[in-house]
Amino acid sequence: MSVLDGLNQKQREAASIIDGPVLILAGAGSGKTKTITTRLAYFIDEVGIPPTQTLTLTFTNKAAAEMRSRALSMITNPNIPPPLLCTFHQFGLMFLRLYMQELNRKNTFIVIDSNDRQQIIKDILQTFPLFKDKSPSVIESEISRFKNIFLTAEEFKVQDVAKNSDAEVVQHISGYYEKYLIENNLVDFDDLLLLPYRILSHNIDLCHKISEQYRYIMVDEYQDTNDVQNNLLEKICSVYQNLCVVGDDDQSIYSWRGADIQYILDFEVRYKDTKVVKLEQNYRSTHQILEVANRLIAHNERRLGKELNSLVGNGAKVEVLESLGDYEEIGRISDKIIQLIEKGTKKQDIAILFRLNALSRSIEEGLMRAGLPFKLIGTIRFYERQEIKDYIAYFRLIVNLHDNFSFSRIIDKPRRGIGKVSLQKAILRTLEMGCSLYDFSKTEEFLSLLGGNRATIIRQLFADLEELQNIMQHSIIDFIQEFDKKIPLKAYYKEQENGNERVENIQEFLGVIAQMVQMNPAITLEEILNKISLSNASDDILEDGDAILCMNIHASKGLEFKHVFVVGMEEGFFPLLHKGIDIEEERRLGYVACTRAKKSLTLSYVDVRFFYGKQEHRKPSRFLREMGLIAQDSTMPSFFCNDLGLKKGDIVQHKTFGKGCVQEVSKEEGREPKVKVNFGGLYRDILASFLIKIG
């Protein structure tokens, strides 16, 4: 009896290849996770490869936990250590804990999230009067982009900066940002991958040691990897090229966050003698659903090529829903959902997907009118709530009293009468002195700069934090209980708007920490905070009860539902058509949307949609034509291909107003041209598609 017995022929082939590079092209619903976990169990339980020589990397904590659980359930030997199966960022965190000294930095760093990063950048911008009006989010995005192509503030050139940002500002602020991170011993998400790569690049002996340790590497969702991840992988497998990557080029939809489809397309070129296995048997969707998905993706030219075959069999025909407007659209979808629920379908088995986030408003309003419970994915996550972020900042500061960033967040929560101006003076002085506020607070200069009362308040706060730090080092549970006595933060939030809800969130947060300690008594508060920082937005998508799930298509990746409705199937909405859009990636998004459905798929478009405060005539998406669902001549709107060649002086015909003379043609990228027409002295603005040129 072998663990491979539960696999089909192609899955078994993929799982049993031991040596050399392997590319597993796994289509949607083809049993990818089963194949990966069985391969890992086979290596350990039947081949005899030590678990410590394996490394399996994925992108989300949820995927890692599921894969770990499945693999361990198949391993029969209870006396072996568990294999390392984690996200890329968790691996980077573990690596830096061991080897951060290679960069002359302490391994007691704190991991910050994107909100923290934006706040740091915002604070830095405020110190430069000329930069105060610059967008922290744009600069943060650019800094992240440069890190992911291996450029530091000193290395990148002005022309490398995206055209929609201020090159000199990004270059200037980036240097101050990196200096701030180092001085406060902070690490951002990009650093968790970039810094290990730099360490391995500069220390050949260590690189060889790590490669000797991890001789068998597997990577899930390989189509989503970026430059840093691929270069880090090359370092880790520099001695043994036993690299098995699993992915689907047809589901590469994250170029906007740095993923590069070329890595999976060129894998065979970069790794010689690669064995390629295609998993094309689909266990999720009906034949009708896969048929339209296959037709759609076949129009892409940049792909390795495969075709999904349904093992589920025949089902309902894919439905195209045409409505006059968005109000009617969501009303009809609501009626269909009610019918499904009445027939016994659970609400959580139904999803409404959209390409454009702005469409969520009409969906939300329509479901509320119908009295249908729903969850809109993309609302504020638990750890991003203000009260939780404040607790995390306090706890970070207690772990590291030199953390100026966390101190700046909590100093006036609860209120202590320390104004922003006073705090800014102190922070600027610490930057000049190259020390922390904690160290500066012990000086006589601190007393004279802030005044006796403010200085006393801050010194007392640090004294309380020192006492809490001592308690924390002996017992995290005792520390949690003592914290509220020393720092009345919970009482502060009790008096705020939605106070009871905020206190409940705080209690839940403290309960999570207590549970982590119970599961691992040796865990430190620092480790707990880093676990929280590494939590994924996708980890909590399906945690809430029975409700219809509404989300954009990117958020639906990796999920499946019995019944799927895709709204906004209109040119300019899906696919998006503005400058810089990759039509092949838009098509891959369509493929992902279709392959989320198990039993039924409904694709919806409207003739007129109310968008950004005005009504616009729409034409159905070209994707509906490519899927073979609507006639060839009804998909491609003339106004996106051309403007009918209209110019001032042309004679046109309108079905209601008759003949008229064109006075002006107004064009806006991604929208239908608007034409001002003189109908016998009556001037009207008409959308171009409603006119016929007759002279």
Q: What is the pLDDT of residues 262-289, one digit of tens each?
A: 999 999 999 999 999 999 999 999 999 9
**pLDDT tens track for 647-665:** 888 888 876 788 899 999 8
Which pLDDT score, from 0 to 100, does residue 692 have?
Answer: 76
Which tokens go with 455? Answer: 């200085």
* Paired residues of 306 in beta bridges: none
Residue 413: pLDDT band with limits 50, 70, 90:
confident
Q: Give the whole-angstrom CA distance, residue 512 versus residue 476.
A: 12
Over residues 628-646, mean pLDDT: 58
Instruction: Name the average pLDDT for the chain.
Output: 86
Cβ-count burial 399-418 (b if 16+ within 10 Å, e if not): bbbbbbbbbbbbbebeeeeb
User: 251 catalytic, yes or no?
Assistant: yes
User: 32 catalytic, yes or no?
Assistant: yes
User: 515 catalytic, yes or no?
Assistant: no
Which pLDDT score, from 0 to 100, does residue 163 have?
Answer: 46
Residue 546: pLDDT band with limits 50, 70, 90:
confident
Q: Where are the alpha helices (DSSP H) in 475-573?
A: 476-486, 489-494, 499-519, 525-533, 553-556
Active-site residue among 11, 33, 87, 225? 33
**84 or 608: which leads in pLDDT:** 84
Residue 60: pLDDT band with limits 50, 70, 90:
confident
Do the bridges between strand 281-282 and strand 186-187 make them parallel or antiparallel, or are there none, so unpaired? unpaired
- Of 113-117, 156-160, 381-385, 606-610, the range with the lowest mean pLDDT is 156-160
User: 415 catalytic, yes or no?
Assistant: no
**Inter-axis angle of helices 204-213 and 191-202, nearest 10:** 110
Active-site residue among 251, 286, 288, 602? 251
In the block, which residue shows the tokens 């009362």?
Answer: 453
In the predicted model, is pLDDT for residue 601 greater than 90?
yes
- What is the model's pTM? 0.76
In the predicted model, is pLDDT for residue 214 greater than 70?
yes
CB 637 within 8 A of CB 630: no
* Paired residues of 375 in beta bridges: 549
CB 637 within 8 A of CB 672: yes
Q: Give the whole-angstrom CA distance, residue 643 versus residue 638.
A: 7
Q: Is 233 helix (H, G, I), strand (E, B) or coil?
A: helix
User: 220 catalytic, yes or no?
Assistant: yes
In the predicted model, is pLDDT for residue 164 greater than 50?
no
Active-site residue among 13, 221, 349, 403? 221
How many Cβ atoms are within 10 Å of 98's Cβ, its own excluded?
Answer: 13
Active-site residue among 596, 618, 619, 625? 596
Which percentage of the chain shows pLDDT scores above 90? Answer: 47
Q: Give the whole-angstrom CA distance, residue 533 versus residue 201.
A: 26
In the block, which residue shows the tokens 């810094």?
Answer: 195
**pLDDT tens track for 85-98:** 999 999 999 999 99
Q: Which residue, 8, 36, 3, 2, is CA-closest to 22?
A: 36
Active-site residue among 32, 34, 145, 284? 32
User: Cis link prior to 414 (omega < 30° from 0)?
Assistant: yes
Amino acid at the residue 639: F
Q: How far is CA 250 from CA 254, 373, 480, in A?
A: 12, 33, 48
Q: Which helix (H) or strand (E) holds 106?
A: none
Residue 671: pLDDT band with limits 50, 70, 90:
low
Q: Which residue, 114, 113, 132, 116, is CA-closest to 124?
A: 132
Q: Which residue, 309, 331, 311, is CA-closest to 321?
A: 331
User: 345 catalytic, yes or no?
Assistant: no
CB 282 within 8 A of CB 308: yes
Which pLDDT score, from 0 to 100, does residue 297 have?
Answer: 95
> CA neighbours within 13 Å on the CB side: how many for 38?
20
Over residues 168-186, mean pLDDT: 84
Q: Give the whole-angstrom CA distance, residue 403 versus residue 183.
A: 9
Q: Give the whole-angstrom CA distance, residue 144 versus residue 139.
A: 9
User: Cis link prior to 575 (omega < 30° from 0)?
Assistant: yes
In the predicted model, is pLDDT for residue 64 greater than 90?
no
Which pLDDT score, from 0 to 100, does residue 535 have?
Answer: 66
Amino acid at the residue 156: F
CB 471 within 8 A of CB 400: no
Q: Which residue, 430, 431, 428, 425, is CA-closest to 449?
A: 425
Active-site residue among 45, 140, 220, 526? 220
Q: Give the whole-angstrom CA distance, residue 127 versus residue 116.
A: 17
